[in-house]
């Protein structure tokens, strides 16, 4: 699973050929969640509230970059790193 960003202990990644809808994976301290890019809703899993808030804040800032990476992954292209939340 290619890592595309990392901040405050949160790892953001995407799988190649993953299922719809477009989403990313967020991992933190042994927990993980799949978060939809368009709605920023949790599709599966859970994270602590503060961690989820940071992941959603980051995703809202980088929604277009995430969609570009989603499309690149569908084509089996390498994914671009996305700036972390500061």
Assign residue 70 a region (left: φ > 0; alpha: ψ between -120 and 50; beta: otherwise): alpha
Strands 23-28 and 10-13: antiparallel
Asked if 69 and 86 count as a contact pair (C-beta separation under 8 A), the reply is: no
Q: Where are the domains of the chain?
A: 3-74
pLDDT band at 1 (very low <50, low <70, confident <90, very high): confident
Strand partners, 57: none
Asked if 24 and 17 count as a contact pair (C-beta separation under 8 A), the reply is: no
pLDDT value for 63: 98
pLDDT value for 17: 84
Give me the mean pLDDT over the 28-48 stretch: 98
Would you give the distance in Å from CA 86 to the centre of its chain?
16
Q: pLDDT averaged over the chain?
A: 97
- CA-nearest of 17, 18, 29, 24 to 40 is 24
């Amino acid at each position: 699973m290619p890592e595309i960003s990392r901040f405050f202990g949160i790892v953001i990644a995407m799988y190649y050929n993953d299922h719809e809808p477009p989403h990313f994976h967020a991992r933190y301290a042994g927990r993980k969640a799949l978060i939809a890019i368009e709605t920023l809703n949790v599709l599966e899993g859970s994270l602590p509230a503060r961690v989820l808030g940071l992941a959603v804040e980051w995703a809202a800032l980088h929604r277009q970059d995430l969609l570009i990476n989603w499309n690149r992954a569908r084509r089996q292209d390498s994914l671009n790193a996305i700036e972390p939340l500061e």
